[in-house]
Structure 1
Amino acid sequence: MLSLKEPWRYSTTGVSVAIRVTPRGGRDDIDGIEELADGRSVLKVRVRAIADGGEANRAVLGLLAKSLGVRKADVRLLSGPTSRLKQIAVDGDPARLGEALRRLAASEDKGSK
C-alpha cells in the first residue's frame, strides 16, 4: 500500500496530475509515486524521447493516454513545457481516472520511500 499522497487532483471534467519526467529514460514507463524534497508527490514517468522540440512532452502525453485508456486529445499539458516537473490534465470520468492512476502507481511503484 502506498504511504505517499496521490499526486493528482480531481475536477468535474477529469484529473490534474503532477508528474516528474525523465527524458531518454530507456523506455516509456510509469515508475510509481515519489515525494519531492518540498513534500509534494509526483507520478514518476520516463520516456525514450529526448527533451528537444517537445518530443518528450508528446511522448509523456501519449503514454498517459494509452495507460489510462483515453484518447490523446483528452490529455494536455497544463504547465512545465520545459521543466521536468509538469502538470497534466486528463479529461474523463474522475473516479475511473483516479482508480486507473492508483492501479498504475501501485503496480509500477518500485520501492519509493
Structure 2
Amino acid sequence: MARKPALPDAADLRALADAQHCLSLRVTPNASADAMSINDCVVQVRVTATPEAGKANAAVLALLARALGVPKSSLSIVRGETGRDKRLQLPPA
C-alpha cells in the first residue's frame, strides 16, 4: 500500500505565490517517494515519476492540486516545463 505524501498546508503554499498567483517550484524526479516541502520561499517537490514525455510534470501538477484542493486543470506551468526550476500559475483564491 502506497503512503500518502506529506503535503504543506494550502494557505502556506498560497502565501508564497506572487501578485500574479505564480508559485516557484524546485522539482526532483525519480525520487523514492512523492513529497513536498517549503525551503527558503521555494516549494521543493519530489515525485517518483520519470522526466520523460511529461510524466514528472503531470505528477507535480497532481500533487500540487491535491495540496491546494483544486482540480489539476486549474494549474498550469508558466516557465520551466523541461527544467527542474518551474513557475506554476495558480487559480485565484
Q: The TM-score by the shorter chain falls in which range?
A: 0.7 to 0.9
Q: Please, which runs of 5 or more residues in structure 2 have no aligned partner? A: 1-14
Partners of 1:23 and 1:31 lie apart in 2 by 15
- Equivalent residue, structure 2, for 1:23: 29
Task: Give a deviation string over 1:84-110, Cα, whole Å, max 9, x none.
Answer: 0000011131xxxxxxxxxxxxxxxxx
Runs of 4+ in 1 over 6 A off after TM superposition: none
DSSP 3-state at the match of 2:48: coil
Structure whose residues are more often strand by fraction:
1
TM superposition shift of 1:29: 1.2
- Equivalent residue, structure 1, for 2:91: 91
| Larger gyration radius, structure 1 or structure 2 | 1
* TM-score (normalizing by structure 2): 0.77
Task: Give a deviation string over 1:43-64, Cα, whole Å, max 9, x none.
Answer: 1000010111110000000100
Q: Please, which runs of 5 or more residues in structure 1 have no aligned partner? A: 1-5, 35-40, 94-113
* TM-score (normalizing by structure 1): 0.64
2:17 corresponds, among 8, 29, 34, to: 8
- Equivalent residue, structure 1, for 2:38: 32
